[in-house]
A and B are shown apart, each in its own frame.
Chain A
Amino acid sequence: MSPAAESQPVSSSFWNDTGRTGIFSWIFSTDHKRIGLLYLYTALTFFLIAVVLGVLMRIELMAPGRTIMGAQTYNALFTVHGVMMLFLFIIPGFPGAFGNLVMPIQIGAQDVAFPRLNLFSWWLYIIGAAIIITSLFTGGGPPDTGWTFYVPFSARTGTNVSLAVFGVFIVGFSSILTGLNFVTTIHRLRADGMTWGRLPLFVWSLYATAWVQILATPILGITLVLVIAERLLGTGLFDPARGGDPLMYQHLFWIYSHPAVYIMILPGMGVISDIIPVFSRKPIFGYKMIAFSSLAIAAAGSLVWGHHMFTSGMSDMAILVFSFLTFVVAIPSAIKVFNWVSTLYRGSISLEAPMLFALSFLLLFSIGGLTGLILGAAATDIHVHDTQFVVGHFHYVIFGGGVFAFFAGMHYWLPKFYGRRYAEKPAIVAWVLLFVGFNITYFTMMVLGMKGMPRRYYDYLPEFTALNLASTVGSWIMVSGLLLMLANLFHGLLRGTPVGNNPWEGATLEWSIPSPPPTENFVVEPVVTHGPYDFKGAGIP
């Protein structure tokens, strides 16, 4: 136990905060921990809804032809599944939930720089989500364009695209405000002695994420406004008949939406960077390079959007440049992976639940990243573009990378905020089911894509039946693991055994305060004297 922890006087936890009562003490709270939990609950709710939609799609694809739904329903399902998973779960969820819960404590602050703006961000997120959900049941029915809202179809379809797009616009605004709040917080509110070189790597990754949120999201905003204008005013800016160009839409959309991939994955990389040293009992290998590579990914990742458009009719020169830049992004990503592996080397590894999720992240993210290079090279992309291979690839990155890191974070940090922990054995069983089910579900998709099965079709040729059936069975294994994991967490966090300040013997600041933390986080303002992974300096044997 760290000496700093012993010197902290006892104070009541943020759960017993007085002031407003009932639900209002949550939905109007400006405490970053309460807002973080609000984000966690809401984001997980949308995640579960989107999981159900995903499972329904897999059931439809179990056999060729119509299985449980028609083409139009299937179109709506993959659209809403994508919109919810991306815009309502992983983009707001990671910075919103874990960024809010952990980041201020990790830098030794009492709260974020703008607590009321933080609450406002959550409200914008909820309002945007409500608008998106409203769009499913009103007007011409749920949008059927895919989450990318590509023109000209999105400008012409009779479904309720305008309202859904407006909801995404509002959620984007929320994301911008979270980003600028976090950048300001990390610049202004670090405790005494918390130099840039002592920031936990999760904070570094959130810092890079926040810049992407600030710089990329406005472009999505204006693009969505243009889609609405196209539909409501008939501006014709993307309509070739009136001099517009649909390719311009794709450029604008991917200028945001490719960097957005890094909003989804960078915080996850930060979680992994915090977990691996703690469960290897070794300081992180290459701290500076991991911190720097987060910024490098954010910067280089903003220049590669054109690799989504190799088959759209760009010039060959543009394809060459975007292809090259895409390969450049692989360098900082590989730097991270190598440093994590080097941290493991000769470490005293303990395979507890957070570490298992972190290790599977390493494998799944590597597969996702390397298959990304197949898509980043124009020659191979032409063959697998818009096939199930792409679906498999981005699920390896976003689910196998981002969401597995999210689960790792839930097992690692939630005991801190609930003061209780889950049972270890069910957590490991759940992890096995998730890991096995995941690979069956998505690896088969990549094989199917190689064989030529296109994405976004509710029907397929009979020769794809066996692999599709396997993928669907994999999704059931995965969902059973997911349900077991959530039940175990739910039960453990409410009824499980109480944990002390530092159940994992970590050296970052959040482990020096009580579990659950007091409202003001630190009763005595902390003075930081050691690095985030300096276990000896923190007094941990």
Chain B
Amino acid sequence: MSSQPHRDDAGAKLGMWLFLFTELLLFGGLFLLYSAYLARYPHEFAVAGARMHLVFGTLNTVILISSSLLVAMAVTAIQKGERRTVLLLLGGTILCAAVFLFNKYLEWSAEINRGIYPDSPRLNAGPPGESVFYSLYYLTVGLHGLHVLVGGTLLAIVALRVRQGAIHAGNFVLLENGALYWHLVDLVWIFIFPLYYLIL
């Protein structure tokens, strides 16, 4: 409805950064609980953490970091006007997102088969700290998985707009913002991976 189109790329990016802050704080609540309960149950957290599937976690870390590289390359490519390359790189990023989620599915299936899920008889029978660890794990990783899904969808929309020619070398703030969001998804995982798989 606005009478004259108003374009402010710096403003759009400022808005995106503010939004990313809110996302960090959303996860921040879960990390806060993690630190409080780790201080209370160091032993139980260590036992439960040692039981995590390190292979899945490592694989997914490599996949996500690669995907972040691909989307960063797409931002460079759009500035050179290489539309085909941009589409390939975005396709690669979305593929990584899909593989990440597929891995997650395999990992969760394995965990559930072992009887490890919130409110499971096995966890309820075990020491209290372990059930807290796994509940936090499922919530944090689940919320992160949701963000992978949202980020992948967002990048698919961006790819569509690139194909239509709406995003081009002269106007690519939407791609930049999409990439920023994807880096956030990556960044959160970079904290989840050591906290749940490595340091315990």
Residues of A at under 8 Å CB distance from B?
17, 19, 29-31, 110-111, 113-115, 117, 176, 179-181, 183-184, 187-189, 214-215, 217-219, 221-223, 225-226, 229, 233-237, 241-245, 248, 252, 519-520
Contacts and interface: CB of A to CB of B under 8 A. Distances in A.
B124 interface: yes
8 contacts: A19-B1, A111-B6, A214-B18, A219-B26, A222-B30, A226-B29, A234-B119, A235-B139
Which of A223, A225, A241, A243 has the most C-beta atoms of chain B within 10 angstroms of its own C-beta?
A: A243
Given A184-B14, A188-B8, A243 B41 contact: yes
B115 interface: no
A243 B23 contact: no
A159 to B, nearest CB: 21
Contacts of A229: 118, 135, 139
Nearest to B36: A248
A184 B3 contact: no
Given A235-B139, A236-B132, A243-B129, 11 more contacts: A30-B2, A113-B11, A117-B15, A184-B11, A215-B21, A219-B26, A229-B135, A237-B139, A244-B128, A248-B33, A519-B3
A218 B26 contact: yes
Contacts of A219: 25-26, 28-29
B5 to A, nearest CB: 11
Contact of A217 (B22, B32, B139): B22
Given A114-B15, A242-B124, A237 B3 contact: no
A225 B143 CA distance: 10
Contacts of A110: 2, 6
B19 interface: yes
B138 interface: yes
Given A188-B10, A235-B118, A235-B139, A180 B18 contact: yes
Given A243-B129, A248-B33, A226 B25 contact: no
A111 B14 contact: no
A394 B67 CA distance: 50
B149 interface: no
Nearest to A183: B18
A117 B33 CA distance: 32
B131 interface: yes
Contacts of B40: 243, 245
Contacts of A19: 1
Contact of A242 (B2, B10, B36, B132): B132
Contacts of B63: none
B136 interface: yes
A223 B143 CA distance: 13
B143 to A, nearest CB: 8
Nearest to B117: A233
B14 A243 contact: no
A85 to B, nearest CB: 24
B9 to A, nearest CB: 10
Given A184-B14, A184-B18, A235-B135, A215 B8 contact: no
Q: From DSSP, what is the main secondary structure of chain A's interface residues?
A: helix
Contacts of A187: 11, 14
Contacts of A218: 22-23, 25-26, 28-29
A189 to B, nearest CB: 8
A176 B23 CA distance: 11
A29 B1 contact: yes
A181 B15 contact: yes
A214 B14 CA distance: 13
B14 A188 contact: yes
A233 B118 contact: yes
Contact of B131 (A29, A183, A222, A236): A236
Nearest to B3: A520
Contacts of A117: 15
Contacts of A31: 1
Contacts of B26: 218-219, 221-222
Nearest to B13: A184
Closest 6 CB pairs of A and B: A243-B128, A234-B119, A222-B29, A218-B25, A235-B135, A180-B18
A237 B8 contact: no
A31 B135 CA distance: 45
Nearest to A220: B29
A244 B29 contact: no
Contacts of A183: 14, 18
B30 A180 contact: no
B22 A176 contact: yes
A140 B99 CA distance: 41
Contacts of A113: 8, 11, 15
Interface string B28-70: 1110110011001100100000000000000000000000000
Contact of A252 (B3, B15, B29): B29
Contacts of A17: 1
A245 B41 CA distance: 12
Contacts of B21: 214-215
A300 to B, nearest CB: 18
